[in-house]
Amino acid sequence: MEILKNHQFMRLWGNQILLQVAFNMVNFTALLILADRTHSPFVQAQFYTALTVPAIIFGLIAGPIVDITNRKRLILITDIFLAILFLLYSFSVNNIFFILTLAFLTSSVARFFIPAEAATIPLVVERKILNHANSFFLFTLLGSVLLGYSMAGPIIQTFGGLKTQGEIVPFFLAIPFLLLGFILVSGLKDIKMKKPDVPQGHIFRKTFHLFLQTVSEVRTNKRVSLPLLLLVFIELMVGVLSVVLLEYVRRFLTLPLTSITYVLMGPLVVGLVIGIALLGRVEVNLGRRKSILLSLIATGAILILIGLSPALFGTLTTRIVAVVSAFFIGILIVMIAVQARTILQINAKEQMHGRIFSFLDVLIAIAIPVPVLITGFLADRVSLLATLVFMGGLIIALTYLTHNFILRR
């Protein structure tokens, strides 16, 4: 493929792979430690909230800063800070407060890295192969979550398991990933970028002006706002499932927590790959809108099935249902997220890409913490299975309402 011959892109993409895999491996390791220490979905929900809240604080300024500063330098700085924070995790495994604090800090740093890389793609890739580049980055964004999560469990088990020195090994292994990424980005040529027009004045005035432009674009352009909402939904689903499914594996599949790597993450990765392969054909046969709507409905139905299966079947059958469900969820994530990202890239103004992706962070931070906390609380204090069934029904209902009362207007 022509995109693989673009050395600038390969350096940028290589850094994204290394950083995102390390970031997600560290996050899931911390989540496993919290689950092992507390057995509480509510505490795990607090961890996920700590990862999302920084977007509210920094997301408002990250996008404008990305669009007016040296992106290469910004990416290098984030690599260094994340390496330091990952190291600090290894000294905090027995302190819940410190784990939550580090989650907040690492997420704060990432708020600048994510839009910086996303907005740099069009600057190093020719327009005719831009779609290929976006597909690579989106696949990495989704795949790194699954790969990072999949790596954490086996690494911990290999070196002794939870409550041993093995649980801090992923934190140390993440640091070389970031150093390699730093080296790759250091070799990037100077990136020329078209800076947006900003009023004279101090940095806060410029930042606020650029942010208001972004809000106006999102508010008035449905071709931008709807893809953003779909991407928020994917993040919400990942967050909720990360909180709920760990306890689901322990209670209803009667397996060790670290086995989630093989039972759920593995099939999810396979589904993701199959989804990428099928995406073109599905888009041609069904169209983007119909395929997204059907995927949302199918996602809701699968969550209902996962919630009902322990009450309907024995342990072995429930495990099979979980594996198959994870596989199909992987496919459905691709159908929703990849197409939503493509629509967003096509319809958002090029000089606003940094701000648009940063605004996505803000939306995620606003929309996700409360539902995740509520879900964790309900799963902890009411019923985990009923929570899954409710989530599935809610997704189907909201999809129906959105289709009939918004998209048909």
pLDDT at 19: 92
Residue 131 predicted with pLDDT over 70: no
Task: Give the pair of three-digit tokens for residue 253.
Answer: 């599949």
Q: What is the C-alpha end-to-end distance of the chain, expressed in Å? A: 41
pLDDT at 336 over 80: yes
pLDDT above 60 for 199: no
Distance CA 256, CA 269 (A): 20
Give the pLDDT confidence of 87-104 residue by residue, as tens digits: 999 888 888 899 999 999
* All residues at 6 or more sequence positions from 321 whose CB lies less than 8 Å from its CB, including other chains: 305, 306, 309, 313
Q: What is the mean pLDDT of residues 214-219?
A: 74
- CATH topology assigned to domain 2-407: Growth Hormone; Chain: A; (1.20.1250)
65 burial (CB, 10 Å; 0-12 / 13-18 / 19+) is: buried
Q: Could you tell me if 79 and 185 are in contact, meaning their C-beta atoms sit under 8 angstroms apart?
A: yes
pLDDT score of 273 more than 60: yes
pLDDT at 112 over 60: yes
- Max avg pLDDT among 41-45, 98-102, 204-208, 292-296: 98-102
Asked if 141 and 118 count as a contact pair (C-beta separation under 8 A), the reply is: no
Closest CA to 168 of 94, 266, 83, 101: 94
Comparing C-alpha atoms, which of 300, 340, 69, 295 is closest to residue 348? 340
Highest mean pLDDT of the ranges 4-13, 223-232, 349-358 = 4-13
Residue 139 has a pLDDT of 72
Crossing angle (nearest 10°) for helices 315-347 and 130-158: 150
What residues does each domain of the chain span? Answer: 2-407
- Please give the DSSP secondary-structure letter assigned to residue 397: H
User: With contact defined as beta carbons under 8 Å apart, do 23 and 150 qualify?
Assistant: no
pLDDT in tens, 308-321: 999 899 989 999 99
The pLDDT assigned to 173 comes to 93
54 token code pair: 């920084």
Instruction: Report which secondary-structure segment, H or E, holds 22.
Output: helix 7-38
C-alpha closest to that of 264 among 239, 240, 246, 276: 246
